Amino acid sequence: MAVIKKFEAVKISQSHLLGIQDISVSEVFCILNEAKAFIKLNKSTSKKTDILRGKTQINLFFEPSTRTQSSFELAGKRLGADVMSMNIVNSAIKKGETLIDTAMTLNAMHPDVIVVRHQDSGAPNLLSQKVNCSVINAGDGRREHPTQALLDALTIINRKGKIEGLKIAICGDILHSRVARSNIYLMNMLGAEINVVAPKTLLPHSVERLGVNVFAEMKKGLDNCDIVMMLRLQNERMQGSFLPSAREYYEYFGLTPDKMILAKKDALIMHPGPMNRGVEIDTNLADDINKSVIREQVELGVAVRMACLKIYCKKT
């Protein structure tokens, strides 16, 4: 990971992590470099540090989440912070409280960092304007999921040693995906070539303006790729007539061995989870230890979130 070293001295200028669109290449490497150090710690027998001792982290999840929420929770705890997780899905917000009121209430408890997930795009931005602490975006609407993209980048660097010059295919429901958007911004920033592969109904308007090659045929899109990122296809997409059926989707856009063979021999398979086996990905491919790095993504996710918490928590 020599590439990262030279950016070690860079300072992060912002106090919030709202999206990849707002940060610079040097800031990205600063985060990844921090994260790299935590990978070893997370594998050791004594995982706890006191970097954030005395700091309070509030996880504010307006949308149900298992892996992101537990990943942030674990990350905070390993850094020694006091972590409080709030599931708003069935609490005050249902009684009519607005996001700003919730923010003001939490702000009165003097947290040092708020990790927020919200179904509305831009909600973390609004929150960040109203609280005195740092805000880390854990996914907002269809807009961004910056820590997911950062952990994907770390996973790729861990395996391939670099991102620059790699060819990355992002496949599936790009339209509704914040993971896809954050990854497009980040991988572009780091010098990768990006193919997006999706049926036209699941592509956002003007997606080519984000700097990607667009493919409606998966075999062409995967041709000679180093990385194949699959996205989750939500079942309700069938109802909106985005697609004719799950079986047709699997036939044309599911990751199967006959399509995977077109990617490079040493190509890696990634997925942000949770997976729909047999809908977007062949079950054997998902478990193929030579190709699939899906579990490694989860593992490095904790390290990346520790890095983000450490860096942004100190900014206020």
Question: H or E stretch including 197?
Answer: strand 193-197
284 binds other proteins (CB under 8 A): no
CB 109 within 8 A of CB 56: yes
305 binds other proteins (CB under 8 A): no
Q: What is the CA radius of gyration of the chain?
A: 19
279 binds other proteins (CB under 8 A): no
Binding window for other proteins (CB under 8 A); candidates: 96-104, 108-116, 164-172, 250-258 = 96-104
Please give the residues from 191 up to 210 whose contact with other proteins meets the rule CB under 8 A.
204-207, 209-210
In degrees and rounded to multiples of 5, residue 193 shows phi and psi of -100, 130
Binding window for other proteins (CB under 8 A); candidates: 48-56, 121-129, 152-160, 231-239 = 121-129
DSSP string spanning 204-246?
A: -TTGGGGT-EEESSHHHHHTT-SEEEE-PPPGGGTTTTSSS-H
Closest listed residue to residue 177, CA positions, set 130, 212, 219, 221: 212
Please count the residues of the chain.
316
Question: How far is residue 185's CA from residue 18's CA, in Å, rounded to a whole number?
Answer: 13
CB of residue 6 vs other proteins: minimum separation in angstroms? 30
Distance of CA 40 to the CA centre of its chain: 21
Binding window for other proteins (CB under 8 A); candidates: 32-40, 142-150, 261-269, 287-295 = 142-150
14 binds other proteins (CB under 8 A): no
Size of the site for other proteins (CB under 8 A): 25
141 binds other proteins (CB under 8 A): yes
117 binds other proteins (CB under 8 A): no
216 binds other proteins (CB under 8 A): no
Q: Which is nearer to other proteins, 24 or 119 (CB)?
A: 119
Closest listed residue to residue 105, CA positions, set 150, 143, 60: 60
CB of residue 57 vs other proteins: minimum separation in angstroms? 22
List interacting residues with other proteins (CB under 8 A): 21, 98-100, 118-123, 125-126, 140-144, 178, 181, 204-207, 209-210
